[in-house]
Amino acid sequence: MNSEKITKGINAAPQRTLLHALGLTDEEIGKPLIGIVSSQNDIVPGHMNIDKVVQAVKLGVAQAGGVPIVFPAIAVCDGIAMGHEGMKYSLVTRELVADSTEAMTKAHAFDGLVMVPNCDKNVPGMLMAAARLNIPAIFVSGGPMLAGTVDGKKISYSTVSEAVSRYKVGEIDEEKLSEYENKACPTCGSCSGMFTANSMNCLTEVLGMGLRGNGTIPAVYSQRLLLAKHAGMQIMELVKNNIRPRDIMTEKAFENALTVDMALGCSTNSMLHLPAIAHECGIDLHLDIANEISAKTPNLCHLAPAGDHFIEQLNEAGGVYAVMHELSKLSLINTDILTCTGKTVGENIEGCEIKDTEIIRTVENPYSKTGGIAVLKGNLAPDGCVVKRSAVAPEMMCHKGKARVFDCEEDALNAIYDGKINAGEVVVIRYEGPKGGPGMREMLNPTSAIMGSGLGSSVALITDGRFSGATRGAAIGHVSPEAAVGGNIALIEEGDMIEIDINANTINILVSDEVLAERRAMWKPRQPRITTGYLARYAKLVTSGSTGAVLE
């Protein structure tokens, strides 16, 4: 065991005395030491209940013969950080979570890890750490929030974002906006739609790193605590049998993740995180494969923001395993690979039938025959960009319009709020990529402003930044190469015609190569927006969004 270097033999006496200082007995010091990585804090609604989840994990570990030892991980609430400088600090925390988990684990020689994340970046950050460390590990999240209700209709955080624009254009009054504000987020938990946090927690099940229900059991259900206890017990089996993350997160597991991603209609952020996690596993996950998988994978769910269903309903309909079981009928799931249960995917999903075919459609009656996410390429994005196809209005699947160009999110948002964006146009927000932002901010506020202003079926938005999982509409992000490194998005001028064909997976500026070459000769790199602190270091090290924005 890893911990023997600090628990066994004469030379470990100094370490043992410090373990005694923690209150550990000789009997405990002889058992496996299990690190529990807790992202509990009092500012993120998805994390305020994690102390209770962690306590349940500790009981499970102890019951199964291990010694549970808790240490922290940070987490940023994307919703609170949205629309101001704080959003620059969202994606970048993924690397901080991975690095600090690595440091704590190596420094203290843990034998296994139970990861307890919940929100957007600390789930993939911990998955990256698990792959990097490659000691037995299992995940149990804090769980999703219940949906709110207004006028008999379920709503979520994204409803409030769009309601701001509806108020500004006079569609609703201040009283109705206040009602949305006070009812949209009724419990703790990760926001209630298929936004980034819930997307990644669901994909943790698919990757084989979380037990059944990890992505869907609501935070306020006691079943979440039962799940946590079982995760605590199961880590001891993984330690006993030396089943490690890279035994589980194989290339076939990532193929499964992309497949279920398409069927569920997950957040476009999964197209950043899956390649980054795969990178830590030593696997090159090229996004080109996404379109190949999408072409043969039916979209079975329309969860918010793509539709009116929520994670709590997905849970009742059979959850992630039911989706996987349904996809297996078309032989789209690799069923012979190992998972954290100690069983194969096929053994795990056996008999997991859909319980509500309105929430999870059958493969015979999908929302569409192709998946919920598309990667587009063309002269605007030679290395690719990403759109949540399942959340795009049918009339916007093919669109051609004049570019309205903005060099930051704030300028674009002000133009939308001021009524300066017209039907048929294409809003371009650049210099918001991993390096240019820096930090690759989410553009939920501009997309919500477009939707709330009634332009969702006539205006597209393109950015080298990214989008919240709560975003809907023709919102195309992760444009690569980004503007800050001289990508063609930096060469777009006001009034250029842009053509988008999501069905054909293409995106182009309708300008000749000669004109682009002339503009490139005149282009000069911009001075960094931030020159000190963590963001400055991040900007120097981060790679393209097309490769998962990993650090070199």
pLDDT digits (tens, 9 = 90+) for 207-235: 999 999 999 999 999 999 999 999 999 99
CA angle at 476 for the pair 471 and 482, rounded to the nearest 5°:
125
Q: Is 481 a residue whose pLDDT tops 90?
A: yes
Contacts of 27 (CB under 8 A, 6+ apart): none
Q: What is the pLDDT of residue 288?
A: 82
pTM: 0.96
Contacts of 352 (CB under 8 A, 6+ apart): 318, 319, 321, 322, 324, 325
**Strands 426-429, 506-509: pairing kind:** unpaired
The tens digit of pLDDT for each residue in 515-540 reads 999 999 999 999 999 999 999 999 99
| Structure tokens belonging to residue 363 | 């493969």
The single-letter DSSP state of residue 374 is E
Q: What is the pLDDT of residue 25?
A: 97
267 catalytic? Reply is no
Mean pLDDT score, 113-138: 98
CB atoms within 10 A of CB 42: 8
CB atoms within 10 A of CB 434: 31
Q: Looking at 48-57, 73-82, 106-115, 444-453, which range is the least confident one?
A: 444-453
The tens digit of pLDDT for each residue in 164-176 reads 989 998 999 999 9
Q: Is 300 a residue whose pLDDT tops 90?
A: yes
Please spell the DSSP secondary structure of 343-359, one letter per residue.
SBHHHHHTT---S-TTT
CA angle at 237 for the pair 235 and 242, rounded to the nearest 5°:
90
437 in Cβ contact with 86 (< 8 Å):
no
> What is the C-alpha to C-alpha distance for residues 534 and 511, in angstroms, rounded to an integer?
38
Mean pLDDT score, 418-432: 97
Q: What is the pLDDT of residue 184?
A: 97
> What is the C-alpha to C-alpha distance for residues 34 and 437, in angstroms, rounded to an integer?
38
Dihedral sign computed on CA atoms, order 516, 521, 524, 525: positive
342 in Cβ contact with 373 (< 8 Å):
no
Q: What is the pLDDT of residue 430?
A: 98
Q: Is 99 a residue whose pLDDT tops 90?
A: yes
| Structure tokens belonging to residue 351 | 């008999």
Tokens 């070199």 correspond to what residue?
Answer: 552
Smallest CA-to-CA distance from 269 within 502, 129, 113, 467 is with: 467
Q: What is the pLDDT of residue 165?
A: 87
Question: What burial class does residue 522 get, using C-beta atoms within 10 Å of its C-beta: 0-12 exposed, 13-18 middle, 19+ buried?
Answer: exposed
> What is the C-alpha to C-alpha distance for residues 216 and 319, in angstroms, rounded to an integer?
6
Q: What is the pLDDT of residue 166?
A: 93
Strand partners, 210: 139
Q: What is the pLDDT of residue 222?
A: 98
275 in Cβ contact with 543 (< 8 Å):
no
383 in Cβ contact with 370 (< 8 Å):
no
- Give the model's confidence band at 262: pLDDT under 50 very low, under 70 low, under 90 confident, else very high: very high
Contacts of 347 (CB under 8 A, 6+ apart): 341
Q: Is 27 a residue whose pLDDT tops 90?
A: yes
What are the backbone angles phi and psi of residue 291, rounded to the nearest 5°?
-70, -35
Q: Which of 192, 468, 544, 546 is catalytic?
A: 468
Q: Is 286 a residue whose pLDDT tops 90?
A: no
**Type of residue numbered 300:** L
